[in-house]
Amino acid sequence: MIKKILLGTVTVIAAVLLGLYIFVELSWDKKYDWPAPNLKVSTDSAVIARGKYLVTGPAHCVSCHISSFDNMVKADNGVPVPLDGGIVFQMGPLGQIVTRNLTPDPKTGIGRYSDEQIFRMMRHAIRPDGMASMPLLMPFFKMADSDLVAIVSYLRSMPPVEHEVADAHYTFVGKAVRTFTNTFKPVKDPQAPAEAPPMAPTIERGEYLTHYVCNCIGCHTKRDPMTYEAIGPEFAGGMEFEPWPELHEFLKVDKRLWARTPNITPDPNSALSKFKTPEEFITRFRQGRLISFSPMDWGPFSRMSDEDLTAIWKYLNSLQPVKNDITETVFIKDEKK
Ligand code: HEC
Ligand code: HEC
């Protein structure tokens, strides 16, 4: 009798697991055929110049869409490098994603794609082939129509570079996270504005930049290390970045070093409160990167305008202060804890 019950239970569990396995394998690469926003690329030099400001500054595409660590450091220092992609981001147990070639090369770059496909990626996080990407990585879904047009117009104006990059790879755990969580789901109806708040030192502009352009909120919020969903108050810091062995090796820093984001709400002990005036905040940003392996896009942000940096300072200072003392932003993890 007991044997029978046991056997029955094992069979049921095995069937459920098999069902789950088949379900994940069939669902993880679901394709979306949603329409793209109705936008048109421009050849106007003022529009292209604004696109360049966004790509190499606040929207920091140059931090990721590069082909080597060498070019990553160059881009950070403001040296022009091709956006030919290929840097591999390890996502722990989920697998890896690879940044794409954004130059207009017709074989390996965005020359293969229509403007609609690129606009749809930026607005809805749906890749040109219809697969969902990760909105958190490029939270441009609420970026204004005019800024999307500026960015894609600039990308189209760059010299093409032929560089084939490998595609993303998901483990079974990665496929399951894609299937069951919201981390890799497109954004249905982001309600993006037609025009961005004008470049001026306003709270409204600061909110727009920190959420949908610079992604300060993406990093300066504590997140689940598996699904990247927020598990702490916005802007209060605490997200941890594990060592990136290849990058640490390239930069010759200790491979045990982790980074952690500080609190940038206006609590008296926060990293934000170190800067009493917009001028002090701007001075810090103009210095750029001080910690060589910090994941923060210091180079691109250091080239933001005074208006934009002041807008960010004002917006962050308008937030509800959250008490969260982050004493160490660089640390070695004690695995015993
Ligand atoms: C934090 C790193 C990061 C930043 C910043 C970033 N990207 Fe990406 N981008 C990626 C990764 C990684 C992928 C591949 C995503 C995937 O596999 O789902 C990607 C994919 C894309 C794609 C889809 C191309 C394809 O063939 O699937 C486009 C278009 C794109 N990015 C444009 C941009 C633009 C424009 C910017 C700046 C406004 C930008 N990205 C900023 C990392 C980044
Ligand atoms: C890719 C992740 C990432 C993004 C995006 C990011 N940060 Fe950070 N930030 C960090 C990390 C990690 C640190 C701690 C290491 C360091 O100081 O570089 C940090 C440090 C800081 C500090 C403390 C600097 C100091 O010298 O004490 C401030 C202020 C800050 N960030 C503000 C911002 C603002 C404002 C934005 C958006 C414009 C932003 N961060 C975007 C990861 C990020």
pLDDT tens-digit profile of 211-261? Answer: 999 999 999 999 998 888 999 999 999 999 999 999 999 999 999 999 999
| Burial grade of 181 (CB within 10 A; 0-12, 13-18, 19 or more) | middle
What are the CA-CA distances from residue 250 to residues 78, 120, 165, 196, 288 (Å)?
Answer: 19, 35, 21, 38, 19
What pLDDT does residue 225 have? 84
Closest-lying ligand to the alpha carbon of 116? 1
Which tops the pLDDT comparison, 5 or 191?
191
Closest-lying ligand to the alpha carbon of 218? 2
What pLDDT does residue 336 have? 59
pLDDT at 337 over 60: no
Average pLDDT of the residues of the chain:
95
Nearest to 307 by CA among 219, 218, 169, 204: 204
Which residue among 99, 103, 143 has the greatest number of ligand 1 atoms within 8 angstroms of its CB, and so is best to mutate? 99
Q: Model confidence over 130-172: pLDDT tens digits?
A: 999 999 899 999 999 999 999 999 999 999 999 999 999 999 9
Of all atoms in ligand 2, which is nearest to the CA of residue 294? Answer: 18
CA gap 319, 227 in Å, rounded:
26
CA gap 265, 309 in Å, rounded:
15
Nearest to 155 by CA among 39, 52, 44: 52
Local confidence band at 6 (pLDDT 50, 70, 90 cut-offs):
confident
What pLDDT does residue 5 have? 86
Which tops the pLDDT comparison, 183 or 282?
282
The CB of 56 under 6 Å from ligand 2? The reply is: no
CB contact at 8 A, 322 and 235: yes
Nearest to 324 by CA among 253, 248, 237: 237
Q: Model confidence over 19-66: pLDDT tens digits?
A: 999 999 998 999 999 999 999 999 999 999 999 999 999 999 999 999
CA gap 244, 295 in Å, rounded:
10
pLDDT at 173 over 90: yes
Task: Indicate which residue's Cα is closest to atom 37 of ligand 2.
Answer: 216
CA 272 / ligand 1 centre spacing (Å): 29
Of all atoms in ligand 1, which is nearest to the CA of residue 117? Answer: 29
| Burial grade of 309 (CB within 10 A; 0-12, 13-18, 19 or more) | buried
